[in-house]
Amino acid sequence: MVDQKADKRFDVLDRRIDAVDRKVDAVRQEISVEFKAVRGEMAQGFARMEQQISAENHAVRADLVKHYSQLDRKIDAQAEHYQQSHNQLLTSMGSAARSYEEYWRDKKLSDNMLRELREDVEELKKRDMEKAAAIEKIEKQIKAA
């Protein structure tokens, strides 16, 4: 009888162990299912985050491209303005150089003309003095005669 009691207790203990084992298996399955669900949710969350980040990156890139395009247009416009100013400056400098050359050419001509006029005036003075001397000589000769 002791063996039967021990056997019964052993059977009861064995059933309890089996029950605990089934519960552990059930918990394992539940944990596995929940873990898979959490993994799926995490994967979906990461996928959503990746899509959001990718969309934000595309938006930022689009904004940067737009901004850089605007800057390029401004730089091109400024470069065109500077090129026009440079061309105008070169034209003005060319005109100024030609005017300067013309001024010096005209100045040389006028200096030459002035020198020639002075020479002519001196020559005329000299002739006038010679004529005045000749007239005086003739007047003296007339008075003396």
Cα–Cα distance measured from residue 60 to residue 100, given in angstroms and rounded to the nearest whole number: 58
Which tens digits make up the pLDDT trace of 1-47? 667 877 888 888 888 988 998 999 999 999 999 989 999 999 999 99
Assess whether pLDDT exceeds 80 at residue 64: yes
Q: Is the dihedral of CA 66, 71, 76, 78 positive or negative?
A: positive
State the chain's mean pLDDT as an integer: 90
Reported pTM = 0.43
